[in-house]
Chains A and B, each alone.
Chain A
């Protein structure tokens, strides 16, 4: 059934369209949640299908493979779509509890569905130019979401985000154009079979263009400064969606392109990726330690931990890629939980500036526990999902003899713990700097999605085998592109 593959695209699109057509706010709210839940369900069905029957491909419009547009779902795509569904449900619940009438009126629900549509399209497409189009779909949706409501901070951040995204789009377009010129193909499976005929020097140059384009999207060193300047600006129901999903699309594209297409000069390209990973890890966490505002701090943590995913890609062994995929999945859940929690704390204390917060341990001790779950997971302490992710990566690094990056990874884990500990001390442990007013009513609903995500990261940590096994299957497929190529090109022949 090829239709299962396109359901994660059709559901957000249909939901978004219905939101536009119905236009009444209560209907949109219900639709937002129903859409996210059915997206999660369809993603789960897709993953089960991929796991049972191998890589799935569908030729849109029934045009045969290298000519038409192909959608492909292997383990990596299906897993990414699944976690997208999880984040979508959590954010939908949060948005429901926030009740931000201004932004709901301005079209939050159709736009967030459009964003999910673009993200899933990018995960599922098997065509490089089509990937560009999906990037633009999700970018346009994210531009509008970024400045939705038009506050001063949002516009300042939005201008930077817009400028950087435009440049990376053009870089991507140029890279696609040159690759097409060199090979005459755009279908990724078809491209993979033709890479051998291109001059190696040209290929490496092209690889660098793609590294630049996707690196900007994924916010890795030296391209990460736009992210902390823009992500904290919009309200949390928007920035949690961005933090959970958008950079991971860049990471996904990097993993896809640098396992399927550019594996000719691994010593240079993947060595460079390893350097980038190390610098991103280290600089990100150092910057995070220097921040005094919670959401900016989390943005730098987000940047820093992108480095872990690249680390696995740079080592390029089955175990390392398993770690990368698992880390990406775990990180989407954890960082979304932390952003949502930041929004909850802002609702409670009226600010996210750390010095002005405090005293929460005394008033809400269970909230402190709730914070520690994703925070420990981010730092990689057992028994949370982050521990297994880091453990796999470190084991892979030791196996490959990459001791430098392993040292950096372990050190960054410690520094993350320090940074999260500082947040805990500032927000929960120390006394409140001034008498804070009572929290406005109706914030209880905001806890629900955070609890869900926190329980999920604990659950994955305690019972890591299934997800780890799936990540392993994803890594195996990535390292044997033959199966991907066969699934795409062999389907209709």
Chain B
């Protein structure tokens, strides 16, 4: 089973990295989600499948045998929520970028800001006055 999951993680990582390297930002975002899933599966697998590490119990308490290690699940849940927040922010960011820059192709975006160094609002007012 571990071998199978290892191949799955490898495959997902390959797909994720490939997509993240594409110039289109939506492809990048989907690549991030795929790669994030690969990372979560990896944590899940490296926490051992089955019940080698049962949950902690009070001294003298009974250890329930068919219970899996809960820690990786807690880690994955945290990582999923964080990934969810990042992806949501990414969608909004790219939506705004599309509105302002009129492209979602990363290669079409300007490389350098030297032509227009970010003005502060105060300076924008000054430019208008000239």
A: residues with CB less than 8 A from B are: 67, 98, 100-102, 129, 132-133, 136, 139-140, 143-144, 147, 149-159, 162-163, 166-167, 169-170, 173-174, 176-178, 180-182, 184, 186, 229, 232-236, 292-293, 295-296, 343, 346-347, 350-353, 437, 440
Task: Answer yes or no: B67 CB below 8 A from chain A CBs.
Answer: no
Contacts A152-B101, A440-B122: A292 and B114 contacting too (C-beta < 8 A)?
yes
Q: Is the CB of B42 within 8 A of A140?
A: no
- Please report whether the interface of chain B is mostly helix, strand, loop or mixed according to DSSP: helix
B103-130 near A? 1/0 per residue, CB < 8 Å: 0001001111110111111110111011
Contacts A67-B56, A140-B89, A159-B109: A351 and B100 contacting too (C-beta < 8 A)?
no
Contacts A129-B75, A136-B86, A154-B118: A177 and B39 contacting too (C-beta < 8 A)?
yes
A235 to B124, CA, bound (A): 12
Q: Which residue of B lies closest to A178 (CB)?
A: B46
Minimum CB–CB distance from A282 to chain B (whole Å) comes to 22
A149 to B96, CA, bound (A): 11
Q: Is the CB of A353 within 8 A of B94?
A: no
A343 to B120, CA, bound (A): 9
B: residues with CB less than 8 A from A are: 20, 25, 28, 32, 35-36, 39, 42-43, 45-48, 53, 56, 71-72, 75, 78-79, 82, 85-86, 89-90, 93-94, 96-97, 100-101, 106, 109-114, 116-123, 125-127, 129-130
Contact among B20, B75, B116, B120 with A167 in the assembled complex (CB-CB below 8 Å): B20
Q: Is the CB of B96 within 8 A of A147?
A: yes
Contact among B20, B48, B93 with A159 in the assembled complex (CB-CB below 8 Å): B93
Q: Is the CB of A143 within 8 A of B89?
A: yes
Q: Is the CB of B117 within 8 A of A352?
A: yes
A143 to B126, CA, bound (A): 28
Q: Is the CB of A152 within 8 A of B93?
A: no
Q: Is the CB of A177 within 8 A of B121?
A: no
A147 to B95, CA, bound (A): 13
10 shortest interchain CB distances as A-B pairs: A181-B46, A177-B43, A153-B118, A173-B39, A153-B113, A235-B120, A136-B82, A177-B42, A293-B114, A155-B97
- Please report whether the interface of chain A is mostly helix, strand, loop or mixed according to DSSP: helix
Q: Is the CB of B46 within 8 A of A133?
A: no
Contacts A162-B90, A173-B43: A156 and B122 contacting too (C-beta < 8 A)?
no
A440 to B120, CA, bound (A): 13
Q: Which residue of B lies closest to A349 (CB)?
A: B123
A150 to B82, CA, bound (A): 23
Q: Which of A147, A155, A177 has the most CB of B within 10 A?
A: A177
Q: Which residue of B lies closest to A234 (CB)?
A: B118
Q: Which residue of B lies closest to A130 (CB)?
A: B78
A257 to B122, CA, bound (A): 43
Q: Is the CB of B116 within 8 A of A152?
A: yes
A351 to B117, CA, bound (A): 7
A170 to B16, CA, bound (A): 11
Contacts of B78 in A (CB 8 A): 129, 133
Q: Is the CB of A159 within 8 A of B25?
A: yes
A308 to B7, CA, bound (A): 41
Minimum CB–CB distance from B53 to chain A (whole Å) comes to 7
Contacts of A102 in B (CB 8 A): 121
Q: Which of A150, A152, A167, A170 has the most CB of B within 10 A?
A: A170
A100 to B123, CA, bound (A): 11
Contact among B32, B110, B117 with A353 in the assembled complex (CB-CB below 8 Å): B117
Contact among B45, B86, B119, B120 with A169 in the assembled complex (CB-CB below 8 Å): B86
Q: Is the CB of A155 within 8 A of B100?
A: yes
Q: Is the CB of B46 within 8 A of A180?
A: yes
Q: Which residue of A lies closest to B32 (CB)?
A: A166
Q: Is the CB of A293 within 8 A of B100?
A: no
Contacts of B114 in A (CB 8 A): 292-293, 296, 353
A153 to B109, CA, bound (A): 10
Q: Is the CB of B118 within 8 A of A151?
A: yes
Contacts of A166 in B (CB 8 A): 32, 86, 90
Q: Is the CB of B106 within 8 A of A347?
A: no
Contacts of B119 in A (CB 8 A): 151
Contacts of A136 in B (CB 8 A): 82, 85-86
Q: Which of B109, B110, B111, B120 has the most CB of A within 10 A?
A: B120
Q: Is the CB of B93 within 8 A of A143?
A: yes
**Can you offer 18 A-B residue contacts whose CB atoms are under 8 A?**
A140-B86, A147-B93, A155-B93, A157-B113, A158-B97, A159-B106, A167-B20, A173-B79, A180-B71, A229-B111, A235-B118, A235-B120, A236-B120, A346-B123, A347-B122, A352-B117, A437-B129, A440-B126
Contact among B32, B47, B56, B110 with A170 in the assembled complex (CB-CB below 8 Å): B32
